[in-house]
Each structure stands twice: as structure tokens, then as C-alpha cells.
């Protein structure tokens, strides 16, 4: 019979149950920060982070966004300065969104060589073009007076095929301005094929197409509407995907790949990690995710209220994308997180 002293450890009663000799103890691999780094299954890297940036025509200085603390609408000069800082931090690329002073029914400023987005592409090509990947949003919603991602027919519905002609014109303008990657985000049927055909016919065979293969009609886009001064009335449910549908995303993925997409993307991010993981399993090309404005705002406002610890929450949210299989992530924290990762031990 074991004596009472033999059952004591460091002056305390031993637990009634102890693991058997040689039992599996996963906690061994969590014991120190160095061990945890060594066995980490998922890692973030600055080059896998892409910074979305907004540039607005007519500004004399950057304009902060009330719904996205820390994010601004840039002037061309402040855009160039912030882009240099992001590149120095090591981000993988920059995604540009343009906000014109004048909008019309067909989004004429979108393919105007002197439109704000095309001027911004040229400016960044001059400033940082050799050091990063310059990407451009290819959609009409920022440029139309009605705020939809396509042109409207006589009934007020989005005309899919007429919109493809406008996308092709925008693609040529953005390619000629110097964009490396074009991101058609309008969810029009056949958009990748139409844009690829236009680019190839004009000799822009090296321009990369980032297909927004699954872009959901989400409640989390709210702050983005402020960022681009959206003129939208109504909603986009006739072209963006229903949040309840998962298999449909894989159908869109297959179509985009068949039409010539070089990279595919899931948007939004955290509410659709299941869709992201399924896309990764099915895709032979890189799969990206977009951590959108509402996801950003939730963490920022929760942290400001003291409800969560800000940087650990940001890093955890980004790690979730990587764990689900994303090759890269568009996030408004890209530059800040890139700097944070460089400060952490290798």
C-alpha cells in the first residue's frame, strides 16, 4: 500500500488520476515560445499580404474614414508616399480603388486614361513599380452614378453583356497604365473570358487576371461604401452570390478557370472560411481571400471599446485565412502587420 507521503508532490496531494507512464502529452510542444514557433503549422509572411488603397480625385489632403479607423481616401501624393511605406514594410502588393469627381450612367471615368484610377496606376508604376505588384479593381461601381457594378438597361436591371464591353475597355486602360494584376469584381457572367480576349487581342498577354470567383452579397461591405462614396440604391443580389450557397462558389470557380483566370479569390473572408477551404482543395491556381471593410471595422471598434486585444485579434484573424489555405490575403492592415511580423522573432 502506497504511503501518504509517496502520494505527495512538492508538499501537495497528488491528483486522484495521473496519466500513465509514456502517455501522449501534446502540451510538450506548447511549452515555450521557441517550441511553439518551431512546430507552428501556419505562418504569416509579409509578402502574402496585399494592401487595398483608395485614391480620390479632387482631394487636397487625405480624408479619414469614420467607419474604418486608420484608413483614408488618398490624394495622388499621399497614395505614393503610403505605397512606398507599405513596400518598405514588405507587403506583397497594392490593390487600387479609384473615386472620381464625376460619375455617369456607364462609368466613363473608369476607362478614361486621365481618370483617377488610371492616373494612380501610372503614378505607382513610376514610384514603386519595380518593387511591388500593382493591382487595380476592375469594376464600374465606383464610377457609375447609380452605384451598380454594371450598366443598366431600360428597365433598370444590370445588363450583363453590355457590362462586359465596359469591363473590356477598363481592362485595356488599366493595362496600358501599367497594372500587373486586374481584379474584375463585378460578378458578371463571362467577365474573365471577355477581359482575357480584349487583353490578348491588344497584346497585353502578360497581364494577370484575379477572378473574384465567389463574391457574396454581404452585410459586411458597409464601411467600403463610405470609402468609395458609393451611390448605390437597392442591392446587388442579382449578381453577387447568396450567402447561403456554397456549391455555387465552386461552379463559379470552374467557370473562371475555364475562361483563363490566373488567380481566384473568395470575398468576404472570415464568414466564408468553409468556401475558401473548398476552393483551395479544388483550384490548381493560387487562391486568395479578401478581409473586407466590415471585418476590419469590427475588430477596430471592438478593440477601441476594450473588448479585445487588438493586434493579437488581427493576427489571429489573418492566421485563420492561412489555415484555411489562402495563398495571400487582401487586408487593410497589410502594412502594419508586415511591420509587426518583421519585429517578431524569426
pLDDT at 345: 55
Among 56, 84, 215, 322, which one carries the catalytic annotation?
215
pLDDT tens per residue, range 41-87: 999 999 999 999 999 999 999 999 999 999 999 999 999 999 999 99
How do beta strands 72-74 and 63-64 pair? antiparallel
Lowest mean pLDDT among 183-187, 273-277, 328-332: 183-187
End-to-end CA distance of the chain: 52
* Closest to 321 measured CA to CA, from 42, 16, 12: 42
What pLDDT score does 86 carry? 98
CB 49 within 8 A of CB 329: yes
Q: How far is Cα 140 from Cα 85, in angstroms, rounded to an integer?
A: 29
CA distance 298 to 301: 5
Is 215 one of the catalytic residues?
yes
> Long-range contacts: 153-158, Cβ < 8 Å, 24+?
157/238, 158/188, 158/238, 158/239
CATH entry, 43-343, from 3.40.190.10, 3.20.20.70, 3.10.20.90, 1.10.10.1400: 3.20.20.70
pTM of the model: 0.91
Question: pLDDT averaged over the chain?
Answer: 93
Instruction: Considering the candidates 56, 84, 267, 322, report the single residue annotated as catalytic.
Output: 267
Closest CA relative to residue 260, chosen from 181, 193, 212: 193
Burial grade of 234 (CB within 10 A; 0-12, 13-18, 19 or more): exposed
Query: pLDDT, tens digit, for every residue of 288-340?
Result: 999 999 999 999 999 999 999 999 999 999 999 999 999 999 999 999 999 99
Average pLDDT over residues 8-13: 59
In the three-class reduction of DSSP (H, G, I as helix; E, B as strand; rest coil), residue 7 is classed as helix
Q: Indicate if the pLDDT at residue 10 is higher than 60.
A: no
Which of these ranges, 95-104, 148-157, 273-282, 329-338, has the smallest mean pLDDT?
148-157
- Say if residues 135 and 94 touch (Cβ distance below 8 Å): yes
User: CA–CA distance from 306 to each of 64, 300, 302, 310, 317 (Å)?
Assistant: 22, 10, 6, 9, 17
Percent of the chain whose predicted confidence (pLDDT) is above 70: 95
Amino acid at each position: 500500500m502506497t504511503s501518504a507521503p509517496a502520494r505527495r508532490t512538492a508538499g501537495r496531494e497528488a491528483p486522484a488520476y495521473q496519466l500513465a507512464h509514456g502517455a501522449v502529452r501534446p502540451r510538450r510542444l506548447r511549452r515555450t515560445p521557441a517550441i511553439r514557433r518551431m512546430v507552428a503549422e501556419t505562418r504569416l509572411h509579409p509578402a502574402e499580404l496585399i494592401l487595398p488603397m483608395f485614391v480620390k480625385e479632387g482631394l487636397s489632403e487625405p480624408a479619414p474614414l469614420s467607419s474604418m479607423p486608420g484608413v483614408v481616401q488618398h490624394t495622388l501624393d499621399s497614395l505614393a508616399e503610403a505605397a512606398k511605406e507599405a513596400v518598405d514594410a514588405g507587403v506583397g502588393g497594392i490593390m487600387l480603388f479609384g473615386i472620381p469627381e464625376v460619375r455617369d450612367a456607364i462609368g466613363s471615368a473608369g476607362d478614361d486614361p486621365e481618370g483617377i484610377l488610371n492616373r494612380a496606376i501610372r503614378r505607382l508604376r513610376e514610384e514603386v513599380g519595380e518593387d511591388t505588384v500593382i493591382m487595380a479593381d476592375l469594376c464600374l461601381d465606383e464610377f457609375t452614378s447609380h452605384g451598380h457594378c454594371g450598366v443598366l438597361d431600360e428597365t433598370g436591371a444590370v445588363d450583363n453583356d453590355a457590362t462586359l464591353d465596359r469591363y473590356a475597355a477598363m481592362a485595356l486602360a488599366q493595362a496600358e497604365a501599367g497594372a500587373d494584376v486586374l481584379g474584375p469584381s463585378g460578378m458578371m457572367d463571362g467577365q474573365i473570358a471577355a477581359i482575357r480576349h480584349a487583353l490578348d487581342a491588344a497584346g497585353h498577354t502578360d497581364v494577370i487576371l484575379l477572378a473574384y470567383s465567389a463574391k457574396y452579397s454581404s452585410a459586411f461591405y458597409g464601411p467600403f461604401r463610405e470609402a468609395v462614396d458609393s451611390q448605390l440604391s437597392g442591392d446587388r443580389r442579382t449578381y453577387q452570390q447568396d450567402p447561403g450557397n456554397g456549391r455555387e462558389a465552386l461552379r463559379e470557380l470552374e467557370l473562371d478557370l475555364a475562361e483563363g483566370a490566373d488567380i481566384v479569390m473568395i470575398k468576404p473572408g472570415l464568414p466564408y472560411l468553409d468556401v475558401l477551404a473548398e476552393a483551395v482543395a479544388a483550384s490548381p491556381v493560387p487562391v486568395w481571400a479578401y478581409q473586407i471593410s466590415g471585418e476590419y471595422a469590427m475588430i477596430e471598434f471592438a478593440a477601441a471599446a476594450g473588448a479585445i486585444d487588438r493586434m493579437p485579434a488581427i493576427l489571429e484573424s489573418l492566421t485563420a485565412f492561412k489555415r484555411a489555405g489562402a495563398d495571400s490575403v487582401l487586408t487593410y492592415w497589410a502594412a502594419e502587420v508586415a511591420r509587426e511580423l518583421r519585429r517578431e522573432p524569426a
